[in-house]
Each structure stands twice: as structure tokens, then as C-alpha cells.
Amino acid sequence: MKTTITRTLLLFATVFTFGYTRAAEPLRVPANTKRSNLERSLDRALRNNISYPLLDRADMTGEVFVSFVINTEGRIEVLECNSANERLKSYVLRKLARIDIGDNPEGSWKTTHMRFNFHREKA
């Protein structure tokens, strides 16, 4: 029983410390400016859907630059995507295609430019 718990904790520690990714920091917005529900939903969806691809055995390090808008159905429409690592680029495009923010009655939302930086943690 004790070894099972120890193995489980070791597995979780390995998964959560093996690798990570983070989007480039957004521009700082003054504190008195309120963010819309759409912006909060987008931030939450990106945090929940895009992470370092742990199970892929190929070289999955590098940067991916993406420009996108959100359509009326709340889906992300990628306008441009660039990366030196083609496998990483296709990984990010697959993850972005799965995101559904919710209805966006105003139509296409402003063009968003993001940089995703994927690299392993230094031991």
C-alpha cells in the first residue's frame, strides 16, 4: 500500500515538473480597465488546453507565433501561424481548433497575436 502511494506521488511529481509551456505575457492593462467575459474565457481556455506535449517523443521545443480571431460561434480562426518546428506548429493548431469560447454575438473579435514558448524545465 505504501509503495503504491509513493509511486503515485512520484508519477504526479514527474508529470508536473517534466516540462511546461507558457504564452508570452500579455500587455499590461491598467487596473481600472475591466476585461470582458470573452477575454477571461479565452485566457481560461488557453490555460486549460495548451501545455507542454509530454507524451510526444519528438523534439517539441521552440516557439510558435499565432495570430487569430474569435468568430461568432466562439471558435478560434487562425489567421497566421509560424514556427521553425513543424511538429510543434501542428500541435498548437490542433489544440487551438478544439477551443470553444462560447457565443460571440458581436462577430469576429479583435486580432490576437500570441507567442507560445515550449521548452523543458531545467533540472
Res 56: pLDDT: 60
Pairing of strands 62-70, 19-23: unpaired
Return the bridge partners of 26, or none: none
pLDDT digits (tens, 9 = 90+) for 18-39: 455 555 555 555 555 566 777 8
Q: How far from the centroid of its chain's Cα atoms is residue 24's Cα? A: 10
Return the residue matching grid coordinates 524545465: 121
What gap in Å lies between CA 40 and CA 94, rounded to an integer?
21
Residue 60: the pLDDT is 78
**Separation CA 36–CA 39 (nearest Å):** 5
Report H helices in the chain.
2-18, 37-49, 86-98
Task: Please identify every stretch of the chain with a pLDDT value under 70, giving residue numbers as ranges.
Answer: 1-4, 6-35, 54-58, 105, 107-109, 121-123
Q: What is the pLDDT of residue 66?
A: 94
Rounded alpha-carbon distances, angstroms, from residue 2 to 6, 16, 55: 6, 21, 27
Mean pLDDT of all residues belonging to the chain: 75
Whether 51 and 21 have beta carbons less than 8 Å apart is answered as yes
pLDDT (tens digit per residue) in 8-20? 665 555 555 545 5
